[in-house]
Amino acid sequence: MSILQTLLFSLFLLLNPVFWCVGADYETVIYKGQKLSILRDSLTQAPLIIRGIESNLLEIKNFSKLSRKEITHTGPLLVNKYKSLLQIEPDQLKLKGAEKISDTWYVSYWQTFRDVIIYESSLGFSIDSRGDIKSLGALLYPHVQAPVTSKVGHEEALKIGQSEIKDFKKLKCILLAESVLIYPVKKKSSIDYYRVYAFNFFPQEALHPASVVGGWAVFIDTQTGKKVLYEELLKPLGCCIPEDWAPPKPEEMKPKW
């Protein structure tokens, strides 16, 4: 998911008792004297979008003089300011990306649980040329309860993952990315959290510039060794490849998380 796509999502967690009124989809909330507009996730009731009404969420001083590294610190600052509303800690953020387009910075983060990334979680915002953050968007999870250790070993899980790919050896499949993740599965009225080994496999021919062959994402439960996700992946680099294209190194391929 790109940074710009991340900005379509919106923020995190359960709300302290505050004064609010319900609109069509948004709530108007008075939080520490500041009027905010909030859109919530229907299952978790976590805010998906938070916007300042007649005020900014954050105003960064001397913004034009800040380095990229200093700009990436704005996420923890923002979470700290709205911590009792968001109910997450600043140290739960892990930087996903920060890039400048024209005079605007786009910054995004993953949410973590015990330093492990939560699959497809995000918190993103833009900072304008004046250093103002007017809104933020996120897909985050309140009160995560997940295993903190793995019962199934990595090599065992890898073999299980490989066995899920039909003709794995014949296709000369390559493991291009792997990680340990927290994988949330939404049910009707609850969420199950799995600690998983996430594997991204691609057949060798997918690295050829003329190939449109995709790959597979396989998530293996670290507690039981069972498959909890299997899905096809599109070719990471798409179909428009320059003539001087060279096969990417594994670490250059964008993983599925």
- 64-93: burial string, b at 16+ Cβ within 10 Å, e else: eebeeeebbebbbebbebbeebbbbeeebb
Banded model confidence at residue 241, pLDDT cuts 50, 70, 90: very low
* 8 A C-beta contact, residue 118 and residue 181: yes
The average pLDDT across 99-104 equals 94
Banded model confidence at residue 2, pLDDT cuts 50, 70, 90: very low
**Checking phi first, is residue 62 left (phi over 0); if not, alpha (psi -120 to 50) or beta?**
left
CATH of domain 3-139: 3.30.310
- Whether 155 has a pLDDT exceeding 70, the answer reads yes
> Rounded distance, CA 177 to CA 252, Å?
9
Q: How many other CB atoms are found less than 10 A from the CB of residue 218?
A: 26
| DSSP string for 91-131 | GGEEEEEEEEETTEEEEEEEEEETTEEBTT-EEEEEE-TTS
Q: Is the dihedral of CA 129, 133, 138, 144 positive or negative?
A: positive
Give the tens place of pLDDT for each residue, 119-135.
999 999 999 999 999 99
Give the tens place of pLDDT for each residue, 175-227.
988 999 999 999 999 999 999 999 999 998 887 777 777 889 999 999 999 99
> Rounded distance, CA 87 to CA 16, Å?
9
Three-state DSSP state, 158: helix
Give the tens place of pLDDT for each residue, 31-80.
999 999 999 888 988 889 999 999 999 999 999 899 999 999 999 999 99
> Rounded distance, CA 62 to CA 142, Å?
33
Which residues contact residue 2 at a Cβ distance below 8 angstroms, ignoring those fewer than 6 apart?
Answer: 97
CA distances from 125 to 54, 58, 78 (A): 17, 11, 10
* 8 A C-beta contact, residue 201 and residue 214: no
* 8 A C-beta contact, residue 135 and residue 8: no
> For residue 231, what are its two tokens?
């899905």
pLDDT score, position 236: 54
Banded model confidence at residue 256, pLDDT cuts 50, 70, 90: low
Banded model confidence at residue 229, pLDDT cuts 50, 70, 90: very high
pLDDT score, position 206: 80
Which comes out higher in pLDDT, residue 5 or 171?
Answer: 171
* 8 A C-beta contact, residue 209 and residue 199: no
